Amino acid sequence: MALLNVSFACSPHVSNPHPRYSCSLSLCPTLQKQVPKKPRTAPRNLILLSLGESASKASLLALLSASLFLADPALAFKGGGPYGQEVTRGQDLTGKDFSGKTLISQDFKTSILRQANFKGSKLLGASFFDADLTGADLSDADLRGVDFSLANVTKANLSNANLEGALATGNTSFKGSKITGADFTDVPLREDQREYLCKVADGVNPTTGNATRETLLCN
């Protein structure tokens, strides 16, 4: 328990006939050292300056990232970003030429892609959800993991395309499409679509070496 060093400095008041005494109480030096000091806080203007510098750095990084994104076309094709200055989701891209392009994870959801050319394109993980691919050329394309759910793929050219693991749920239709040498390994087709495709299936995929009929589990 801390001890108090009490000292009385007493002196009579001359003006008062009845002596009064004034006393002072002081703490000992040991206790004074133990009294915690208030933490110093940075001036408000310094805090605002620090916040301003952080915001400026964040803006600079954002601008740098955007410039790199637009400068490298390969980056623009990833994650559903813009194709050049255009957007590929929900657009009318009839007859557009995407042949030989790297379009990994590109977003073509609900787009009109009639007679579009995707010959030899790399479309791993791309989405054609509810898109219209009527008459599109998808020959020799890498379509692994592509989402064709609810898509219209009628009269399309899928010759030698690799569709391993692609999604074709819902009302996806491949009616009238060319599938010679196409690989449908692990594609969840409706039974009526499977039966239809088995009637026209033939050839062997040049990339995987799998026979089209075998990948469709035809009898």
pLDDT tier, 172 (very low <50, low <70, confident <90, very high otherwise): very high
CA diameter of the chain? 129
pLDDT at 23: 40
pLDDT tier, 219 (very low <50, low <70, confident <90, very high otherwise): confident
Q: What's phi and psi for 142, nearest 5 deg?
A: -90, 105
Compute CA distances 25 → 4, 12, 13, 19, 128, whole Å: 9, 17, 19, 20, 86
Distance CA 136, CA 114 (A): 6
pLDDT in tens, 19-50: 444 444 444 444 444 545 555 555 555 444 45
Residue 9, SS3?
coil
| More confident position, 103 or 6 | 103
pLDDT at 110: 95
pLDDT at 38: 54
pLDDT in tens, 79-88: 344 444 457 9
Q: Say what the alpha-carbon torsion angle 115, 117, 122, 126 is, to the nearest 10 degrees.
A: -30
Distance CA 158, CA 141 (A): 8
Which domains, from first to last, does the chain contain? 80-218 (2.160.20.80)
Distance CA 162, CA 147 (A): 13
Q: Residue 215, Cβ neighbours under 10 Å: how many?
A: 23
Residue 193, SS3?
helix
